[in-house]
Each structure stands twice: as C-alpha cells, then as structure tokens.
Amino acid sequence: MTEREVNTQCGVSRRRFLRDAGVVSAAGAAVAVGAAHIDGVQAQENNQGCKSAGCDYDVVVIGGGFAGVTAARDSSKHGYKTLLLEARNRLGGRTFSSEFAGHKIELGGTWIHWTQPFVWGEVERYGLQLKETPEHHVPGKDTLSVIHEGKRIELAGKDLMSAVEGIYAYFAEARKLWERPYDAKYTWNQLSAVDAMSATDRYAQLSLTPLQRTVVDAYIAGISHTTSDKASYADVLRWWSLPGWELSQFSDSLGRYTFKNGTISLINAMIADGQPEVRLSTPVAKVEDKGDRVLITTQQGDTIVAGAVIVAVPMNVLPRIAFSPALDPALVAAAKETHTGSGMKVFVRTKGKLPVEGKYTGIADSHQPLSLVTTYAKADDHTLFACFGSDPDKLDVQDRDAVQQVFESFFPGIEVTECYSYEWTLDPYSRGTYCSYRPNWLGKYYDHFQQDRGRVIFGQGDHGEGWRGFIDGAISAGGKAAKRTQTLLG
C-alpha cells in the first residue's frame, strides 16, 4: 500500500495518519515518473515535442484523480506534451483501492452503473471487468433494521411498504425540478424557487409518519454525506433524477457494480493509453497566467512553463494554490464554505459468518453515528460490513468499543473485531468526501463554477452537469476541460 489507512486494531493518531498518507512531508519527495511503475502500469517518458513556444509542456494538469487523469490522457492523445502533477504519492484522488480482511475494497468512490455514460464508456473502451457488490439483495431473505426513536425496528410487511411510499413522496417533485438532469438551465426557474431549501425543509411540506421520515433521512445522509439540515433539497433530488426517478434503479446505480480489479484499474488503463508524464508527491504552490504562457510553481520550488494549465483538484482545496490573476472570489467563498461531503466510510469486520443467506442492512437518520450499515462480504469465519456516517466526530472508528455499541443497536449479539477507514476530511488534498451542494449554492455559485480564465482551464469533478461528485462526473469534467484546452492551443 502507498498510504496508511485507519485501522482500529492498533489505533492511529491523526498526525500519524497524515504523515503515513504522504501528505505532511511530501515537499522534497517529488517523483518524476519516466520509466517508473505507477501502480503496476509502465508509464513511459513523454517524448512528444512541445508545440507551445518557450514552454516546457503544452499542458500541465494539476490533480491526479479521475478528472485530472482523464484530462491528461486526452491532452496527450490530442498531440500535446502533457505533464500530470499529483500532490499525493498515488493516483486516484478520492478513490482508493485497498484490501482488508482478505477482501478487495474501495475506501473512497466505488460504484458505477450503465446509467453513468462517461465511466461506462471507459469500461467498454478498455474492456475492464466488473463485479457486483459481493453480497447483494436476496428477495425474502434480507434483514432490514431501522433505528427509530432509540429503538430497533425490523422493516417488513406494511412497515416496509410504508417506508417505500415515504421515499416516493419525498422525491415526488424530482421530475419537475430535474426534467433534464444534465441541463439545470432547462428548469432553472423551478430550481431557483427551491434553491434556499435544505433537505430538512422539505419535511414541512409533507405528511410523513415519523418512521417514514427516519427512513428518508437515511437516504439523504447517503446522498449528501452530511446531516439533512445542511444538504440542498434541489441537489438531493438531482441524485434521484439521474437514474430515472425510480427506487430500484436508484439503488443499483449507487451500489451494485464496481471494478473487479479496483478503481485503480481504470486509472492505470488511462495512463497506459495516453502516456502523459506523471509526477507524484508534487503539490503545486502557485499558478501564474502571463498571457502567452503559464508558470506553475511547485512546493519544492520548481517552476514549470506551460501553454495551458488544467486545474482538476477538489473544490475544497482550491485556496491552497495561489493564483495570479486571483481566482474568482466566488470560487474562494465556496471553497471556504466547503461542499457537504464531510462524512465517513468505514469497513467493519465482525466475528463469524451471518446465519442467514441474505444480507443485513441497518439504517438510521442522518444525525446518528452511522446512517447505513450493510453486508459487503461473507467468509467462513467473519462478515464484512460497509458503513456510512454523516459526521466523523460522532463516532471514533479507532474505538472498537464505540463501534461495537453502534452495531449492537442494529444487530444485537454481533461482535465487532476490526475496523478500516480513510479520513478524507483530514487529507489536506481532499478536505472532504464526494461533493454535493448546500442550500442557495445554485444561485450563488453555479454560474461561477468551471469558468475558464485565460490559460487556466477548470476541470473539477465536483462541478458540471449530470453525475458531478461521482467518478462519472469527474471523467466528464476532465474530458471537457481537455477539449477546451485543445480549442485554446489549436
């Protein structure tokens, strides 16, 4: 492994986490990848001549997540001498393929689906193998537990049907607000009318039962990765609209298919295809647009001259880089507010194999330590759960006893043995998880995001239309940024 994840068996301090993740002392540890391996891919030296007079590279891409890797691949294939700079000691951004308890897992972004056209197109392009989440739904044999008003309820029969009705009632306006989920401007007036609403505000317009509200709130926590009072109602409905306004398709799109060999398998395929030059452990300190060229200064003090730069870093970390001319103040304001993705994803190993053929799933409202707990994989001597919570401060995943107490509330008698997580909110090169917007953000910031300035092109996966905040949206953003760069450079 190239980074240290948080494993509760031995306990990892926050400073040790940052140090071992390669984000405290990265300065001075630049790795220029010529004939070196990147996660198993042979990345060759980019020997293309630079077309931009007086420059070291035609295109420099900042940020090695899916947006940046896509932009670098496409720019290289467009015939430009391309350099990809990544602050961490690995590529992948907010995706992170790893292993735990003998199982391949993803500590960040994971699932894809054929309703997501950009990532699915890449799967087809490279012939990558997929797999279903190891433990999927078994009709009539699953156990669904809800923590409601401090008590555990097993959802079945009429209660289950009522919960489903509550979900559809909550999302009933989605088709009107997002008739075209890839074109917000098409229904801009309708979206503007609800822009100020939080996901919680929607409850006042409905007559949900308390149990229905608890179930809906768990869904909102999964969508926004925060509590429902901080999430944008309009943005929550965007998620529901993208797969087609239907529960089973929604569930499949967000949690059924993933890469057999990890998200890194697509990153590797893209790098091998485009052959951009890659430098890891190279944070960028400054970007200066001189009108006819761009100067990029790394934290190590190196200056790189380029015809254009593509910025593909997460929105929350944008202020870490000094821009000249200065950034649009709205971008800085949004970054300081931060998007809503501030929760956690933790894998929990429990003792013994579950005594049922189906899976265990537990849900709770967005203000609970964990809002979703679901069986991920089974072995003869243990079971692995994937869990999500909206606030890392509500559950110390390094404290096995604390995790045990939460699990006991969902599944009495189950024994937690080990936990595994990555603290994205502590990583200075992400400062959060996946992006969803806050109330009022459409009106305040939408027209400011992804607006290029001179030779500085923005291709951040947090913004754009459709599946922004997903792997799919990142690939879309990176590809579009590369195309605009091609238009700029000619």
Q: What is the pLDDT of residues 296-325, one digit of tens each?
A: 999 999 999 999 999 999 999 999 999 999
Region 408-427: what's the mean pLDDT?
95
Neighbours of 35 (CB within 10 A): 8
| Contact call for residues 434 and 341 (beta carbons, < 8 A) | yes
Query: Residue 9 pLDDT > 70, yes or no?
Result: no
Cα 76 from Cα 485, distance rounded (Å): 11
List residues bridging with 57 in a β-sheet: 306
Task: End-to-end CA distance of the chain: give it in Å, rounded.
Answer: 41
Q: What is the pLDDT of residues 131-151, one digit of tens each?
A: 988 666 666 778 899 999 999
Q: Indicate the pTM of the whole model.
A: 0.92
Region 262-269: what's the mean pLDDT?
98
Q: Which two tokens stand for residue 250?
A: 């929604």
Please tell me what DSSP assigns to residue 453. B
Query: What per-residue confidence (pLDDT) applies to 31?
Result: 33
Query: What per-residue confidence (pLDDT) applies to 359?
Result: 86
Query: What per-residue confidence (pLDDT) applies to 213?
Result: 97
Q: Which two tokens stand for residue 75?
A: 């720019």
Percent of the chain with pLDDT over 90: 85
| Domains in the chain: boundaries | 26-93+263-337+439-489
How far CA 415 is from CA of 16, 150, 351, 381, 446, in Å, comes to: 28, 20, 6, 12, 46
Banded model confidence at residue 195, pLDDT cuts 50, 70, 90:
very high
Q: Which two tokens stand for residue 194?
A: 């609800």
Cα 228 from Cα 230, distance rounded (Å): 5
pLDDT mean across residues, the chain? 90
Q: What is the pLDDT of residues 81-97, one digit of tens each?
A: 999 999 999 999 999 99
Banded model confidence at residue 40, pLDDT cuts 50, 70, 90:
very low
Crossing angle (nearest 10°) for helices 247-255 and 157-170? 90
Cα 22 from Cα 29, distance rounded (Å): 9
Q: Which two tokens stand for residue 308?
A: 């254009």
Question: What is the residue type of 119?
Answer: V
User: 26-93+263-337+439-489: what CATH class?
Assistant: alpha beta
Tell me the three state secondary structure of residue 107: coil
Residue 130, φ and ψ in degrees, nearest 5: -110, 170
Q: Give the DSSP letter string of 306-373.
A: EEEEEE-S-GGGGGGSEEESPPPHHHHHHHHH--S---EEEEEEEES--SSSS-EEEEE-TTSS-SEE
Alpha helix segments (H runs only) across 87-126? 117-126
List residues bridging with 386 in a β-sheet: 347, 374
Query: Residue 109 pLDDT > 80, yes or no?
Result: yes
Query: Residue 45 pLDDT > 60, yes or no?
Result: no
Cα 310 from Cα 65, distance rounded (Å): 13
Banded model confidence at residue 24, pLDDT cuts 50, 70, 90:
very low
Banded model confidence at residue 354, pLDDT cuts 50, 70, 90:
confident
Strands 31-33 and 6-7, sheet pairing: unpaired
Q: What is the pLDDT of residues 360-380, one digit of tens each?
A: 999 999 999 999 999 999 899
Banded model confidence at residue 23, pLDDT cuts 50, 70, 90:
very low
Tell me the three state secondary structure of residue 480: helix
| Contact call for residues 267 and 67 (beta carbons, < 8 A) | no
C-alpha triplet 292, 294, 298: angle, nearest 5°: 165
Region 263-268: what's the mean pLDDT?
98
Region 102-125: what's the mean pLDDT?
97
Banded model confidence at residue 43, pLDDT cuts 50, 70, 90:
very low
List strands edge to edge, sheet with 360-364: 6-7, 416-421, 344-351, 382-389, 372-378, 360-364, 143-148, 151-154
What is the biggest distance separating any 2 CA atoms in the chain, rounded to whole angstroms? Answer: 71
User: Is residue 128 exposed (0-12), middle (13-18) or buried (19+ Cβ within 10 Å)?
Assistant: middle
Region 63-71: what's the mean pLDDT?
98
How far CA 236 is from CA of 36, 193, 242, 353, in Å, comes to: 42, 15, 11, 35
| Contact call for residues 108 and 345 (beta carbons, < 8 A) | yes
C-alpha 403, offset from chain centre: 24
Q: What is the pLDDT of residues 461-477, one digit of tens each?
A: 999 999 999 999 999 99
Q: What is the pLDDT of residues 221-257, one digit of tens each?
A: 999 999 999 999 999 999 999 999 999 999 999 999 9
Q: Give residues with Cβ within 8 angstroms of 49, minimum separation 6.
A: 81
Cα 114 from Cα 116, distance rounded (Å): 5
Query: What per-residue confidence (pLDDT) applies to 355?
Result: 77
Query: What per-residue confidence (pLDDT) applies to 47?
Result: 53
Q: Which two tokens stand for residue 6?
A: 């948080």
Percent of the chain with pLDDT over 70: 89
Query: What per-residue confidence (pLDDT) applies to 268?
Result: 98
Cα 125 from Cα 119, distance rounded (Å): 10
Q: Which two tokens stand for residue 345?
A: 């994803």
